[in-house]
Structure 1
Amino acid sequence: MNWSKVPMRAWFATLGLGCLGLVAVGMELQTLLRLAPCPLCIFQRLLYIVIGIIGLLGFIWPAGRMLWAALAGGLGVFGFGVAGYQTWMQAFPDLAPECSFTDPNAIERLVDWLGMEWPSMFLATGFCTSREWEFLGLSMANWSVVMFAGIVVYAALLFRQKRQA
């Protein structure tokens, strides 16, 4: 298959639906396995939602592809950092300042507010150092590092595309 023939809109739709799909899978795992998401988990969920919306905006208005790709890439880098920090917290729980045990930072305040507004989507009830779920030896935070890295690479490829269609 010649990937250069795929319309730009399809690439953005894939980004948007992929990110929103990650949120859906995460919420389903949370329900089925009775997982308790922490503030950093919820913030990553929010980043996936925002990147998903950006992807759908790129589908609707592909002429602004460089803006949409730059926004998605920037948020992907930020998400990579947040997920990386949570991965470090899980690897070294004795060194990590636990979420919710100190004065709340900006992320925790935002998550608290969102949790009050839409509890089923954004209520944080767990601890950031907890590794409640693992798949192939990686925690949810570890998988999130991989996903955000993929988003950054994907956004960089979208940004570099020469065509506008």
Structure 2
Amino acid sequence: MDGRNLSLLAGAGSAALLIAALGFQAAGYAPCELCILQRWPHVAAAALALLVWLTGRVRPLALLGMVAAGIAMGLAIYHTGVELRLWQGPTHCSGTVGNLATMSPQELMTRLQNAPVVRCDEVAWRFLGLSMAAWNAVFSAGLAVVWGMAAKRAAKG
């Protein structure tokens, strides 16, 4: 497989992780602050793959994709450490309130009091003993390798 196709594969992998995260969210697993933060590098990686497809410039974009996947992996490892209580995470993790500009002060207070708090240090779901954050770290590491292979093959070709 050439560098361009490897880049597209890695970008599709990030898109698949984003779709899975949104699927879990739709199934009732509300994301915490760290979960949402982990999504942004995958958005960047998917966009970089789109740029590879549109421009054909593989090497520089694949290197950026590798960095994005590496950042996603680092954030996921950090989150996993918070879940395992190896280190302290953010002091607050909460859901969004939304529509702040249109709410009265009383509506805002009611919404805030009833908003569920999603903790970053509690695992909502596990598979084979790993949390979603841990799986994200594993998959992100794999995607970083694929991006790196794409950059290497683009340099040779």
Q: What amino acid is the match of 2:38? A: Q
Deviation at 1:9, TM superposition (A): 3.4
Call closer, same or farther: CA 1:73–1:57 in 2, change over 3 Å: same
RMSD across aligned positions (CA) = 2.6
- TM-score normalised according to structure 1 size: 0.74
Q: What amino acid is the match of 1:65? A: V
Deviation at 1:53, TM superposition (A): 0.9
Aligned to 1:139: 131
Deviation at 1:129, TM superposition (A): 0.8
Alignment equivalent of 1:50, drawn from 39, 44, 61: 44
Q: What amino acid is the match of 2:22? A: M
Query: Number of residue pairs matched?
Result: 139
Are 1:72 and 2:60 matched, yes or no?
no
- TM-score normalised according to structure 2 size: 0.77
Deviations 1:1-54 (A, max 9, x none): xxxxx354332222222211211111112212x112111110111211111111
Are 1:129 and 2:121 matched, yes or no?
yes
Q: Unaligned 5+ residue runs, structure 2?
A: 100-115
Aligned to 1:59: 53
Deviations 1:35-74 (A, max 9, x none): 1211111011121111111111112222x21111111111
- Are the counterparts in 2 of residues 74 and 152 from structure 1 also a CA contact under 8 Å? yes
Are 1:87 and 2:93 matched, yes or no?
no
- Are the counterparts in 1 of residues 7 and 146 from structure 2 also a CA contact under 8 Å? no
Are 1:15 and 2:7 matched, yes or no?
no
Q: Unaligned 5+ residue runs, structure 1?
A: 1-5, 102-107, 118-123
- Flag the structure with larger Rg: 2
Q: Which has the higher contact order (CA 8 A, sep 6+)?
A: 2
- Are the counterparts in 2 of residues 9 and 60 from structure 1 also a CA contact under 8 Å? no
Identity of aligned residues (%): 26
